[in-house]
Structure 1
């Protein structure tokens, strides 16, 4: 055993016997998934060399004018090496700068300058990249956080480095021949934000013999020449900054200075081994180790630091604020939370909780700068994907003991996402002017509404969990109730969640409904893919399907269904459809994220043996080593999500219900895995008899004691544990007892009945009405926060008389209007009556604030009596003589 320290971590690393590969980093193959295109994805990755969560990626380019598919495994020539900040080809690259070594003469044209190579002469690792071209030039790259050491071996006496970038990118370059320095900047190119400008500073180990800018080309196109001997090595040390050239120079001094290429490479390898070595595996082939450690590399590649050490102070150019002002602190970027909330963030919380808190705090800093946490950071706000899944990420981490982030600000960001309307489609949840009050996102207002709804309920559950932990019991009750609203979009007539319009009608008739139709109300999927997306309440979901056996049957039906697809509202085939078809597991499309919890929902059905049956097939078919062909995955490997799914599933458990600190038990893949936890304890997973045949759990022991529950609390693992799995060839009833299933919100067999607004269809009156202006009492109860009730009084009252008899109101909500915060209510009383004469006070509030416009606030009341009339008396505004509210709800049964 040998010890390595990196990233503040210390682990013991094994020296595997029977193989020449001794360290985890030696198994990493960054080419996995690069045999991809926009039409078919085997990962849609590129060979990024970096340190874990690093500031920069360093990569070869087979297409030096691409901002998306920059490296294609099937191409035989490399046109440049580049600094990259690309989180996904679908999000495009930004802040780039290219270098291309040449010999004999300079060639600028990309196709002509492309240097032929063989993958046999290419080594692509996390900590270094090397390729020797057919022309004899070799390029090697070793990274630090903000910098890299490059080593070129030239075959001739006249050797060049060409500097370049993609078309349309503004920039500037200075060639300081006398001091052997190249410096300048490039602008963001693409990406979402826009991103800050990137500055660079480079020095060389050999004097520059000649240099020139190339006229008529891109702004930074230029070259330097070295007088070399055949086989001579020239080193370039280069650093970047989002602050200034001077800071790039400082970053270079801090991270490389006078270090040799080999020293930089070794330090990068040590940093990776410190993380990769947190998982040891026994009973694995070399191919399986390549899959395992390459998946760990992908998991720890994102998100990326975007801060710098400025005179000892963490500082960043904010991608969230106009003009990118300098801020003190740390910020992280490059994450699609719709993807990563499912697996990577719970993996970080388990393996590296301290770093998890730092990264989460980096996204909280984004909230402080821009007013919202991004849905998809690339690096700024992107109008893409569904759900504000940072909500459940924050909650899950906190409940698992991560404390080193500003949880108060994080909680505020969650409230803003869940309780306020945003006119900017790139910020917050879409359709919040209606969905809060309807209990679902209406399809005639927002496309992909079913996905928006289901993700919203899941995130509401996360908010409820964190609210309870923080002692915000009123919020907790409200959001827990909202997390049950998934029942509002379940159609029993077709047996699926489906799109509903704002008037309560389904998007399609039952006759026109097709479960395999893609798009429309679903994001990158169809009704099958979203059929069990309510892991926060597995028992309640089961009750929709007529009990646990019905849930098990629904899951079985998903796997048994024909794998055909209807292109639906996409209007044509998209790559996800083809990949889902190729998974060949019915409608279980492991090639994309919406189904990644699906296998583990068998836990709630009391049939965990079905997980054990199927999870091994998914691992065996969905993940390939990629050696020699650039394969790796079926579908996009988004920011480590697909990889982290593998890691959890190989360990034998999975975070099926994010926001709840527990894991559903699946089945271990290897005979032994040892997980070195940050606190120095070990989690040991033994399954000595496991194999493709012996895939079924016969029994489980936790720390030597028989264990029958089919889920594990986080607390049972985080301080170290020994899990012993006795595996066999036949399915058993282990973990199928009524007391063995994971926790749900719902208990019993009834379908959940969340509180709903009872103020519908009744009679409204007020002390002042402004109906003529379209801002009257009716607008206070129209389920739309873009309208409002406005009263020309500072202490008005508004009364609602219910239809259909008295109802018991348990909560109510008030929503601030679009403007003039001084008109917000500050103090009020809610009263109730059955005769309109005798009024009972149910609730009194004082000193209340609405920090945001269009913000809904919820208030619980201790009331068990049904009333037919409710009256809100405003006692004080925030200083204005006019009162306004966008919406009032009375939540009851």
Structure 2
């Protein structure tokens, strides 16, 4: 849908009043507060510091705080850059920082302790406003009011200056998030005329070969301009020697460029800047700019974007008694709709993984696939409230696989690059989940072939040993061999489900057998998953609580021993049945972790943990729902409501861990409504305890599914009975068909646990 078409639509309810983009900007939430539209390619947001990735050749732990470029407790703003990840535990981006200043020109950022030594400025949260698609703040050192809004591919700045003959707008091409010494491979700047500038930036950060093009235009001509090339250590030679490279140059290129544009302003005069991005060319960036914002009406663009947000947020209409919970819910829905992000120009062009220009024909191409996180709840949420987008995302994954030299589906990809981050091959989970739930708009047989090819790529992540031995040996994948085995086994089960749907029995037989490989790393003598060596023996040195080189990624044996989402009943039986499994699960929430645990994990804080249950680390996200597979499902209801209250608050530090491109938020959305996809790739959602009083999901097929909690209160966390379309639901799960057919789900809440016998 075009921006102008959405603008012409009837206005919807004001859901954005319940969104606070500042939630998660303090501590480890790693969200950004700036302006963007749903799934927008531009995330225009303030950056509060520039921390080098390494100091004296060693990793700088302080850099971890700035995955999104912004920390709520910082006193200064360095500037406003156009690309950001939301909630990640690693980073990149921070492209094309713009900062307005007045007075003597300074082309270095200065320091937080002495902002006057550079172009950064102090600011106060008292003058800071963060809304969907709108950000405003007063830059106190220079008395400039900064306002930001966006369209899908264009950032729109509005800077209100005091009266001065020394107004400057700085464009910093050196700035970036997670800055490495050599991150900038090359930058280029071309002055087209006295209001238009184009160029590009090539970086070799987390993404090894990333190029972003831009077109920038000003609402009034600049008086003069210049740059400071920090990489120039020798006199210019040859062609470049024909120009004055510092002032009024026609073009310039280098690794470390900062340019400035000078203006004269009257009191209260606003200078506006439109800044468009493209993955392909400056010509496409200019076309994006002219097509998406053909005028200079800042307030109209802001309103159009906010109308888009209201339309998306209104897909789930909820009622909660507490306003803080309403803010939690709609901010979580907002964070769920930030990524993946659009990665193509208005004409359909995008750069592929092969670094060539491609056309997205019949689908919107997306990037930013944090799949180790988002396969669990975010993509299943999309199958309900964003099915068309999820189909396009899968089309994007299949295009990635075609362009990949390894012929693999994405693992963690962005901007025409594969980062190879985290473990497993969870694209197959996203594809199988959509297929099993009937959300198909692509060639299923081709998709299955892509899944199989990915799962047979022997040189990826010890897959050869996994296929040969039935597990990943610790001596081949040191430190995360067990969790990798468990994730492979789950993904293999997903491939088997897709093969079964397509009646590809040979593929089904191969992968359903592989899906049982979790049993090969379960040590029944101690009741935990345990690293195994190539010779078939379990590793002797082993600590079930430690996260340091024990065979698990972002977790320990205690919590990862519960990760068999495709066979929870098999896991329970292997661990000794309900009598042994339930106490083990109980202990996860009640035990006390030693200080060593926190010292080993930089992304974990004590306020993000309940016992040994680490909500900020995604492998635990399904765990509270495992009681549903025992004879004590009421404990799922109790745990879920506790987690909702303890891990989510309407405050800057209100997230108990990285939001991880919306996964933490998607968990909140599902759990608040009373169900959760424990096993993506199946059609089932396990029931929990709804926190909402009412909810209505508006489906793309035109139907609605309503949820109601009778006798809802903070004390009434247990479910006495459930009615689906007026009939008793005598099972602990809901199916996707139940949802898509529309209808109603009614929970009757109680202050005391209800046994299975009573429910039936």
* TM-score when normalising by structure 1: 0.75
1:209 aligns with 2:238: no
Q: 1:9·1:678 contact (CA, 8 Å) conserved in 2? A: no
Matched, 1:166 2:174: yes
2:650 and 2:717 map into 1 onto residues whose CA distance is 21
Q: Is the 8 A contact 2:86 2:338 kept in 1?
A: no
Question: Once the 2 structures are TM-superposed, how far is the Cα of residue 90 of structure 1 from its aligned partner?
Answer: 4.2
Give the Å deviation of 1:12. 8.5
Partner of residue 63, structure 1: 49
Q: 1:86 offset after TM fit, Å?
A: 3.5
SS in 2 for 1:221: strand
For the residue of structure 1 that corresponds to 2:525, the secondary structure is: coil
> Does residue 413 of structure 2 align to residue 377 of structure 1?
yes
SS of equivalent to 1:74:
coil
Structure 1 residue 548 displacement after superposition: 3.2
1:583 Cα offset (Å):
4.0
Kindly report which structure 2 residues correspond to 1:864-879, keeping only aligned pairs within 5 A, or say none. Answer: none
1:153 equivalent among 160, 168, 171: 160
2:626 alignment partner in structure 1:
601
- CA contact under 8 A between 1:154 and 1:231: conserved in structure 2? yes
Pair 421,215 (structure 1): closer, same or farther in 2 beyond 3 Å: closer
* C-alpha distance in 1 between matches for 2:4 and 2:734: 30
CA deviation profile, 1:60-96 (whole Å, cap 9, x unmatched): 1112466861212111111111111446664322371
Establish whether residue 403 from structure 1 lines up as the match of residue 425 from structure 2. no
User: What's the counterpart of residue 656 of structure 1?
Assistant: 678
1:585 aligned partner: 610
Contact 1:392 1:659 in 2 (8 A): yes
SS of the aligned residue for 2:614 comes to coil
Question: Which is higher, the Rg of structure 1 or of structure 2?
Answer: 1
Q: Which has the higher helix share?
A: 2
Does the 8 Å contact 2:548/2:600 carry over to 1? no
For 2:609 and 2:707, how far apart are their aligned partners in 1? 30
1:710 aligns with 2:735: no
Alpha carbons of 1:65 and 1:204: their partners in 2 closer, same or farther (altered >3 Å)? farther
Counterpart pick for 1:256 among 290, 293, 316: 293
Task: Please give the root-mean-square deviation of Cα atoms over the aligned residues, in Å.
Answer: 2.3
Per the alignment, residue 575 of structure 1 pairs with 602
How far apart, in 1, do the equivalents of 2:374 and 2:758 lie?
A: 30
How many Å separate the matches in 2 of 1:237 and 1:582? Answer: 41
Q: What does the per-residue CA deviation read over 1:201-258, in whole Å, with 9 as the maximum and x for residues that have no partner?
A: 1222222222222354764311112222100112111211121111111011111112
**Which segments of 5 or more consecutive residues in structure 1 lack a partner in the other structure?**
15-22, 423-427, 741-893
Deviation at 1:176, TM superposition (A): 4.0
1:205–1:234 CA contact under 8 A, matched in 2: yes
Structure 2 distance, partners of 1:735, 1:677, is: 34
- For 1:413-452, list aligned pairs within 5 A: 413-422=450-459, 428=460, 430-447=461-478, 448-452=480-484
Alignment of 1:679-694 (within 5 A): 679-694=701-716
Q: CA deviation at 1:550?
A: 3.1
Equivalent residue of 1:453, what SS? helix
| Aligned residue in 1 for 2:638 | 613
| Structure 1 residue 328 displacement after superposition | 4.5
Return the alpha-carbon distance in structure 1 between the equivalents of residues 201 and 30 of structure 2: 25
Is 323-332 or 586-595 further displaced after alignment? 323-332
Q: Corresponding residue for 1:466?
A: 498
Kindly provide the CA deviation profile for residues 557-588 of structure 1, in whole angstroms up to 9, marking residues without a partner as x. Answer: 32233322655xx9x52224x42x43452211
**TM-score, normalization by structure 2:** 0.88
Cα distance change of structure 1 residues 723 and 89 upon mapping to structure 2, 3 Å threshold: closer
Aligned to 2:593: 563
Change (3 A) 1:327 1:278: closer
Paired position in structure 2 for 1:363: 397
Report deviation, 1:146: 0.9
Q: CA deviation at 1:723?
A: 0.8
Higher relative contact order (CA 8 A, sep 6+): 2
Which residue does 1:812 correspond to in 2? none
Q: Do the aligned partners of 1:95 and 1:187 also contact (CA within 8 Å) in 2? A: no
Matched residues in 2 for 1:299 and 1:437: separation? 39
Q: Which residue of 2 aligns with 1:198?
A: 212
What is the aligned partner in structure 1 of residue 143 from structure 2?
136
Is residue 316 of structure 1 aligned with residue 302 of structure 2?
A: no
Q: What is residue 234 of structure 2 aligned with on the other side? A: none
Q: Which residue does the alignment assign to 2:564?
A: 534
- Which runs of 5 or more structure 2 residues have no equivalent in the other structure? 54-62, 111-117, 176-181, 232-254
Q: Do residues 670 (structure 1) and 661 (structure 2) align?
A: no
Q: Closer, same or farther in 2 for the Cα pair 1:236/1:583, shift >3 Å?
A: closer
Change (3 A) 1:151 1:472: same
Greater Cα shift, 542-551 or 679-688: 542-551
Q: Does 1:351 align with 2:380?
A: no
Q: Distance in 2 between matches of 1:166 and 1:284?
A: 48
8 Å Cα contact 1:87-1:335 kept in structure 2 = no
1:828-877 deviation digits (Å, cap 9, x = unpaired): xxxxxxxxxxxxxxxxxxxxxxxxxxxxxxxxxxxxxxxxxxxxxxxxxx
Is 537-546 or 82-91 further displaced after alignment?
82-91
Matched, 1:32 2:54: no
Matches of 1:296 and 1:698, distance apart in 2: 28
> 2:553 corresponds to which residue?
523
Shift of 1:279: 1.4
State whether residues 6 and 271 of structure 1, in contact with CA within 8 Å, keep that contact through their aligned partners in structure 2. no
CA distance in 2, matches of 1:528, 1:10: 52
Alpha-carbon distance in structure 1 between the residues aligned to 2:467 and 2:380 = 28
Q: What is the SS of the residue equivalent to 1:110?
A: coil
Output one character per residue of 1:686-716: Cα deviation in whole Å (capped at 9) or x when no partner: 1131222111101111111111211011100
Give the conservation status (yes or no) of the 8 Å contact 1:518–1:566. Answer: no
Contact 2:88/2:658 (8 A) holds in 1: no
